[in-house]
Amino acid sequence: MKTLVIKGDSGAALGAELLQSGEIVAFPTETVYGLGALYDNVLAVEKIYEAKGRPKDNPLILHAYDAEMAEKVAFVDDKAQKLFEAFSPGPLTLILPKRDNVPMKVTCGLSTVGVRIPSHRVARELIRLAGAPVAAPSANLSGRPSPTSAKMVYEDMSGKIPLIIDGDDSKTGLESTIFDAKTNTVLRPGAVTKEMLEDCLGEKIYFAGLAGKDERPKAPGMKYRHYAPRAEVRLMEAGEIVDCISSGARSAVGVLASAEVKEKLSGLIPAENVFCYGKTGDLEAIAGNLYKGLAYFDSLTEVKLIFAQTVEEKGIGVAIMNRLNKAAAK
Ligand code: TXA
Ligand code: MG
């Protein structure tokens, strides 16, 4: 299959037609790119699982234009309404009781459904023209970093899907916060932080732990290896990276680190082996560049080990460290 890449509104117009004819389409959102199907077309939903190689027990989230559209597929109570008003459109997915019209193929048999109202203009145009919620996971092959540009989607999905809508780089760069309002639990940290949710609701919010082998994890996707580049990832502080490289660890090593570390390494390691993810402490920039950096090293076949600089776990730093830990998991 030939994969077209079309920008912006013309991409959204063609994308909506393809969705309505039962096809699947990659589209930009402010978090990461999604791979979408009309939520109630079971055959199209199956195509998503096939194209990604996604485990069959990992449910999809639904993307709605607004809370009114969300209400058509989920029960939106006062608390959910309040959260939508505070954080949507934007990077928050709410786990809500599903309505009967949501196929079991979307939720993998769960009685709940994840619903998000994205803010990216092109995503909104696509959903508006499609006229119904769009079921979409991230547009990567299962186990690979989520794509934050049309080019990254192309690398994983070329030949497998008819269209990639190009809406430039994703602004946030990490997947949405997933929040189960019933249990006040963050299932996946993102740009909407625990503190922001606590401020909005005036209640204590918890993080879900990784489920043990015999339990059903809170977010089914949490038990799978995620966000993994081909090379092994080792998490290190700035000083450790500089020490290791200075004392000779350089062949086959890639470094994903701040501008300050990159500068200290100049002359010690080939410049192309260092990917600068932003200035130290600029957590928004680092979140935005993280997956691009991990995917960059996949293109350097000689790199077998990546030294990744850790960040402070505050604000979106919690989400950055969550993804780095997953990338480093054996
Ligand atoms: O930012 C995002 O959320 C992106 C963009 C495209 O919107 N989407 C995304 O989808 O990251 P995906 O499929 O890669 O991650 C969705 C996660 C999975 O871990 C899945 O297990 C979890 O949401 N999930 C979906 N439905 C759920 C449910 N009913 N209960 C608990 N977890 C659920
Ligand atoms: Mg994903």
Q: Is 172 in the pocket of ligand 1 (CB under 6 A)?
A: no
- Can you tell me the distance from the alpha carbon of 17 to that of 3, in angstroms, rounded to the nearest whole number? 15
Q: Is 178 in the pocket of ligand 1 (CB under 6 A)?
A: yes
- Whose alpha carbon is nearest atom 33 of ligand 1? 219
Q: What is the mean pLDDT of the chain?
A: 94
The CATH topology of domain 232-328 is Rossmann fold (3.40.50)
- Can you tell me the distance from the alpha carbon of 279 to that of 258, in angstroms, rounded to the nearest whole number? 5
Question: Which of 145-149, 214-218, 323-327 is least confident?
Answer: 214-218
pLDDT score of 93 more than 70: yes
- Can you tell me the distance from the alpha carbon of 317 to that of 177, in angstroms, rounded to the nearest whole number? 13
Domain regions of the chain by residue span: 4-207, 232-328
- Can you tell me the distance from the alpha carbon of 177 to that of 266, in angstroms, rounded to the nearest whole number? 36
pLDDT score of 138 more than 60: yes
Q: Distance of CA 119 to CAs 4, 17, 97, 133, 171, Å?
A: 24, 21, 23, 14, 10
Q: Is 177 in the pocket of ligand 1 (CB under 6 A)?
A: no
For the stretch 209-229, pLDDT in tens is 755 544 445 677 767 666 778
Q: Is 59 in the pocket of ligand 1 (CB under 6 A)?
A: yes
- Can you tell me the distance from the alpha carbon of 192 to that of 291, in angstroms, rounded to the nearest whole number? 18
In one-letter notation, the amino acid at residue 236 is: M
Q: Residue 80: phi, psi to the nearest 5?
A: -65, -40
- Can you tell me the distance from the alpha carbon of 284 to that of 138, in angstroms, rounded to the nearest whole number? 20
Q: Is 135 in the pocket of ligand 1 (CB under 6 A)?
A: no
Q: Ligand 1 atom closest to Cα of 118?
A: 7
For the stretch 246-261, pLDDT in tens is 998 777 999 999 999 9
- Can you tell me the distance from the alpha carbon of 172 to that of 193, in angstroms, rounded to the nearest whole number? 13
Contact criterion met (CB below 8 Å) for 8 and 167? yes
For the stretch 169-186, pLDDT in tens is 999 999 999 999 999 999
* Tokens read off for 290: 């993280």
Q: Find the ligand nearest to 118 CA.
A: 1
Number of other residues whose CB lies within 10 A of the CB of residue 7: 15
Q: Find the ligand nearest to 58 CA.
A: 1
pLDDT band at 288 (very low <50, low <70, confident <90, very high): very high
- Can you tell me the distance from the alpha carbon of 52 to that of 221, in angstroms, rounded to the nearest whole number? 13
What is the assigned CATH class of domain 4-207? alpha beta
